[in-house]
Structure 1
Amino acid sequence: MTTAASRPTPAHELSTPQASISTTPKADLNPQGLPIPRGTVTASLSFFSPPADGSKPHNYVEPLPGVPQRNFGDKWVDVPINDLRGQESKFTLDNNAFEVLSGVSSSEHDFLDDEQIKRVYYPEVEKLVLDHVPGAKRVLLFDHTIRRSTPGAKRAPVTRVHIDQTPSSAESRVRFHLPEEADTLLASRYRIINIWRPLNGPVMASPLAVADSATTADEDLVPIEHRYPDRNGETAAVRHNPNQKWYYWSGMKNEERLLLKCFDSDETVGQWGRVPHTAFVDPRTPEGAVGRESIEVRALVFG
């Protein structure tokens, strides 16, 4: 087990010398006048550490009384994380399993009511995917998650390297949501893509890091059984590999979108069909930075 001393320092405990603040160009400050961290940073990421007894790793989505929520551990490793800002066009869903978009407006501003999010924001996301994902002919948005760093929030940023889907769970998603059409849909290309954006950008605390899928080996990925009260699902944990190349998009704004491909049935881009990702503590986060709030919508993409 990792001790508390080995974990990254929470953002609210970090500080930035006053000299650093006073010398930061005004254009690179957030609305509160705090400096936005930019450029390559070395930060600690939490990778997979196998169960001590050699058993199959699992996680209880709803913890059971007196039972550990998961039987595997964390391996914290300091890794360099490169800034995507200024080199956005170098990365695509087919080549790297992530892609970024700028200048995206939305008519939804509150993100407090799930039904309103589905009514207003979902159609925007569906159009975004159809317009920007090559080959996409049909989109089914099957859920969303809002994460907030505030105390007592239902979901906080996840500080563990993971992939939301495995090949097995991706197929199960199609059969679960579209049972009558599943056999036909599974015979053609299908993908699962997460559409991620901040709600209170520019992001300064708990930014999202992604690993270039082309630098992630199959043997780095470990299926994790997720045990629900009525069914089991599966995600992938990730072992550390020094060959992995990590990135983040500094100071991500509300008008920017990060597309994360979690699965792709097209075997010609299979190696690049899954992107490890995690929130991380940026050691440069200035004191007083507002905790990150974000939403990710998960999409089945056919074609």
Structure 2
Amino acid sequence: MTTTAYLPTPAHHLSNPTSSSSHTTSDDVNFQGLPIPRGSVTASLSFYKAPEDGTPPHNYVEPLPGVPQRNWGDNWQNVELQDLRGLEHKFSLDDNAFDTFQNVPSEEREFKDDERIKRVYYPEVEKLLLDNVQGAKRVLLFDHTIRRPTGNRNPVTRVHIDQTPFSAAERVKSHLPNEAEELLKGRYRIINVWRPLNGPVMAFPLAVADSQTVQDEDLIPIEHRYPDRNGQTASVQYNPSQKWYYWSGMKNEDRLLLKCFDSDESVGAWGRVPHTAFENPNTPEGAVGRESIEVRALVFG
């Protein structure tokens, strides 16, 4: 299989195109002529609230009749989010558990057929990771989610991390059972590659926390109960020391890398990035709903 050659640009190598001029440019408005929300903003984020009965938090992936789908609550907090535009050079996967890339073209345009997405878009994501994630020697893309206002998967407006150390190891065992014993002895990471499909993003952008500002005590394992198995994600308790960011006006050629787990203990303390969609109070009335795709990858080496 051949893939399109491209040279993505780490966003921290670029300057903010809107910061050097006070004049309105094409980077300031979307195709509707509406202003793209920019700059720091204070928004309400949903954090973890423990079950009132003291039982371990859990969630039924397929709701059961007469049983609440989840037993924990929401703790809404107003949080200041800084705009990453112009600050990209300050962050990396190893230090902060997220990274940014611009000018990444794709031959996939519609994102309506799963098999075509796997055939065309997956190799592009694999190449991006192999070329830009330090130490990466092998990549396995294990699933993706498309979110559209008209679809059945809406933006998740709850602060979370997709994996825990337990569930990350289980992913390796599940997807590569014959090699898992050896692979688990080396470095393995789970990285999500997130991009919009109808950028620039106007509504419900993605917020990320600098992993260095997140304490282990802030992370709460949530048991996800499937009909045939149990999995885990992590919910996140509010801590005023957490520092939050969003990347304003993400375009279709932008890529946001989110590290959900890293087995390397030298950077493991920063190996997970809380994230959530949020309602930006500066989103102009009439802005189109956000469409996006996230591809999840096991990265070895």
Q: Give TM-score, length-normalised by structure 2.
A: 0.92
Q: Offset at 1:148? A: 1.1
Q: How does 1:87-126 map to 2 (within 5 A)?
A: 87-126=87-126
1:209 maps to 207
Q: Deviation string for 1:77-117 (max 9, x for gaps)?
A: 00000000111121100000000000000000000011110
Measured in 1, the distance between the counterparts of 2:62 and 2:207 equals 26
Aligned residues of 1:24 and 1:35 also touching (Cα < 8 A): no
SS of corresponding position for 1:171? helix
Q: How does 1:1-303 map to 2 (within 5 A)?
A: 25-27=24-26, 28-150=28-150, 153-303=151-301
Gaps of 5+ in 1: 1-22
Q: Give, as a single letter, the amino acid of the residue that structure 2 aligns with 1:167.
A: P
Q: Offset at 1:154? A: 1.2
Q: Deviation string for 1:152-211 (max 9, x for gaps)?
A: x11000000000000000000000000110010000000000000000000010000000
Over 3 Å counting, the alpha-carbon distance change for 1:226 and 1:54 in structure 2 is same
SS of corresponding position for 2:269? helix
Q: Give, as a single letter, the amino acid of the residue that structure 2 aligns with 1:200.
A: N
SS of corresponding position for 2:75? strand
SS of corresponding position for 2:77? strand
Q: Offset at 1:26? A: 4.4
Measured in 2, the distance between the counterparts of 1:288 and 1:75 equals 29
Q: Give TM-score, length-normalised by structure 1.
A: 0.91
Higher helix share: 1
Measured in 1, the distance between the counterparts of 2:23 and 2:34 equals 9
Could you list the structure 1 runs, at least 4 aligned residues long, displaced by more than 2 angstroms after superposition: 23-27
Measured in 2, the distance between the counterparts of 1:26 and 1:222 equals 43
Q: How many residues align?
A: 279
Measured in 1, the distance between the counterparts of 2:89 and 2:186 equals 28
Percent identity between the aligned chains?
Answer: 75
1:17 maps to none
Q: Give, as a single letter, the amino acid of the residue that structure 1 aligns with 2:133.
A: V
